[in-house]
Structure 1
Amino acid sequence: MQTGKTVLVAFAALGATASVALADGVKSDAAVSAPSVTVMGIAGSASGKATGGGAASVALPVTDRIGVQVDGALTNAGGTGGMDAGLHLFTRDPNAYLAGGTFEWSRFGSTNAYRYGVELAAYLGDVTLGTTGGIQRGGANHATTTAGYAAVQADYYLFDTLKTSVSFGGYSNYRAVLALVEWQPVNDTPLSLFTEGGASVAHEHRGIVLAGVRYTFGAPNSTIKDRDRHGDPEVFLQSGIASSNLMGNTKAFEPAVTPAAPQPAPFNPI
């Protein structure tokens, strides 16, 4: 738990620093046009249980071609709390590509999970094709498990203010598919509404339906497409809430339970 508090405090400090330095959100060909903070609220149902949470993401330019993104989230699914934090260091040409390294930490109930990986994206007009993958380690009750993880995602912008997205990913024996629609009602106001749904397609049968709202500070005239390519890069697999519930992150890292030995039948004297 101490690790989680340290990560969240560091994230809050970086977010405060960025909020002081927020610029006008003007587009440029830099990896990150200007410092920005995106906040999100989400609610819905996961496997029949009420689910909700909040998240924030800070994007900062490091050099003209290098940017850094820090993410944090607090969630609750069926009465069980969770925390997430991530760090993404990337190079990007907003007219062509994104490539970077990622670190993510998640805690759900008593389970901690750590991901070390890479992410790649190609910007092809109104289409974005992306992939991410790496190594995932985690454990509950002092047990540790290691597995690979990977995901692919395709986004299509019907308009700069209306995005559709589908992704498929998994780790170990768990697989999930997710779909999202995001809409920005007013062009020059960086507030968007979104809904996403998904289902597990292997190992366990789970479903999820979520709805939420996003707002980006520091980019007053940006559209959804501008935000994704010039500001705050989107995190693949979309939301930790969805991927955690659909792919059973908590169960994947629980230590195996040894079945109890069979008990002899009671002695009944005649």
Structure 2
Amino acid sequence: MLRLLCALSVVAVSWPAVAGDVGSDFGRAVSGPNAKLSVEGGSYDGDGAGLALGSFTTPIGNDLGVQFDGALGTVDDEVLGGGGVHVFTRDPSSYLLGAYGSFHTWDDIDIWRVAVEGELYLGRFSLSGIGGYENVDVPGTSGGLSVLTPDDEHFFGKVDLSFYATDNLKLSGGYRYESEVSLGTAGVEYLIAGFETPVSVFGRGDFGESDYSSVTGGLKIYFGGDPRKSLIQRHRTEDPDNYTPVFPKLQTATPSGSNAPAPLPMCPTYEALPNDTNCECPDGTEKVPGSPATVCSPPGTFSCRATPLCAA
């Protein structure tokens, strides 16, 4: 996987120099070198989180583009970091098609990905998706306990349908299958007009199996290109999404020693005497549930207890 990321990077660096303005920007895979930076916070699967995502995108001639992603932040006080590379072709009037590779790590869990991604542009609607192979490496121990969750490799995928209610307002909904968990998603982004450096506000939520939920929101800043561009133009002439994976919950072995409950002591056993027809317990004790009936015939045995903390 590391070799794949390196190969994608070499392709981007060794390709002919970035073309200048050739015809209309809207006819190129990427209108020109650009970048974006987002800062967000909220809850990831019930854990407090803050995350910064950055991307740099540049054209390779007219028909291809490359994007480099980075991610850094904390989730549940553990550092999350990683990055990815996209290489793609695009006709801004109709589609995007490309390859993607990434690596992310959090709480000693490493996730490698290789995938294909695509987008279809249908008027004010956009259909986007990514799907491929995901390799999850987990640590041997966590918090001093043995990890029972095994390493895994499986398919992952994501698909979203977006609607631009205005040129600067995007509403989206979709489905994600990551770390073998199915999730429904919803999001919104609004580009605030009037700034020399374009700024948008966004929010999104993921909800699904295993009681997973994630709700985040933040700001996104766009750099490069025409600051008067609308949100729909930016999404179709500049940068694909910056993806971060869903990390699995680790299952650990049960701690041994004092944390395990001690077994209950056995209740004392008494013998019924020949003249004892009631199997009476000594003063200050009571019969243990499950002992012989109140009236019993000797010989026999029954148990008494001073407290409930004993086993029959």
TM-score range, shorter chain: 0.7 to 0.9
Larger Rg: 2
> Residue by residue, what CA displacement relative to the aligned partner does 1:77-121 show, whole Å, maximum 9, x if unpaired?
121210120101000000010000100111011000001110111
Q: In structure 2, what is the Cα distance between the partners aligned to 1:195 and 1:260?
A: 40
Instruction: Report the alpha carbon displacement of residue 268 of structure 1 after superposing the two structures with TM.
Output: 6.9
Q: After superposing the two structures, state which structure 1 stretch, 43-52 or 32-41, moved more.
A: 43-52
Contact 1:38 1:56 survives alignment (8 Å): yes
Distance 1:56 1:22 in 2: 24
Change (3 A) 1:266 1:89: same
Q: How does 1:116-127 map to 2 (within 5 A)?
A: 116-127=114-125
Aligned residues: 239
Aligned to 1:228: 235
Query: Which of 97, 100, 104 is 1:99 aligned to?
Result: 97
Cα distance in 2 for partners of 1:187, 1:165 equals 24
Matched with 2:185 is: 178
Between the aligned partners of 1:72 and 1:83, the Cα distance in structure 2 is 8
CA distance in 2, matches of 1:123, 1:74: 31
Alpha-carbon separation, structure 1, partners of 2:261 and 2:180: 33
Where do residues 1-270 of structure 1 align in structure 2 (5 Å cutoff)?
A: 27-141=25-139, 144-171=151-178, 173-186=180-193, 189=196, 190-199=198-207, 201-202=208-209, 204-219=210-225, 220-235=227-242, 240=244, 244=246, 249-251=247-249, 254=250
Cα 1:22–1:113 change in 2 (3 A) is: farther
Shift of 1:264: 10
In 2, Cα distance between the equivalents of 1:217 and 1:75?
21
Q: Residue 259 of structure 1: CA displacement?
A: 6.7
Question: Which letter maps to 1:135?
Answer: Y
Question: 1: distance between equivalents of 2:248 and 2:27?
Answer: 41
How far residue 138 of structure 1 moved from its aligned partner, in angstroms, is: 1.6
**CA deviation after TM superposition for structure 1 residue 267, in Å:** 8.6
Q: Secondary structure at the match of 1:34?
A: coil
Asked if the contact 1:165/1:179 (under 8 Å) is kept, the reply is yes
Which 5+ residue runs of structure 2 have no aligned equivalent?
14-18, 141-149, 269-312
Aligned to 2:26, what secondary structure does the other structure show? coil
Higher relative contact order (CA 8 A, sep 6+): 1
Per-residue deviation at 1:218? 0.4
Instruction: Tell me if structure 2 keeps the 8 A contact 1:96–1:122.
Output: yes
Task: Tell me: CA distance 1:263–1:149, structure 2 relative to 1, closer, same or farther (3 Å).
Answer: same
- Relative to structure 1, the CA distance from residue 260 to residue 46 in structure 2 (aligned partners, 3 Å threshold; closer, same or farther) is closer
Contact 1:70 1:88 in 2 (8 A): yes
CA contact (8 A) 1:131 1:151 kept: yes
Paired AA for residue 72 in structure 2 = L
Comparing 113-122 with 46-55, which one deviates more in the overlay?
46-55
User: What do the CA deviations read for 1:155-194 (whole angstroms, capped 9, x no partner)?
Assistant: 1101110001112011353111111111112166521011
Say if 1:227 and 1:233, in contact at 8 Å, map to a contact too: no
Q: Is the 8 A contact 2:100 2:114 kept in 1?
A: yes
What code does the residue aligned with 1:38 have?
K
Q: Which has the higher helix share?
A: 1
Separation (CA, whole Å) in 2 of partners of 1:127 and 1:185: 20
- SS of the aligned residue for 1:99 comes to strand
2:232 partner SS: helix
Deviations 1:28-74 (A, max 9, x none): 31000000010110011233332111111011101211000111011
Q: Which secondary structure does the structure 2 equivalent of 1:64 belong to? A: coil
Q: State the distance in 2 between where 1:59 and 1:158 align.
A: 26
Counterpart CA distance in 1 for 2:255 and 2:218 is 44
1:17 alignment partner in structure 2: none
Distance 1:184 1:260, change over 3 A: closer
Amino acid at match of 2:200: S
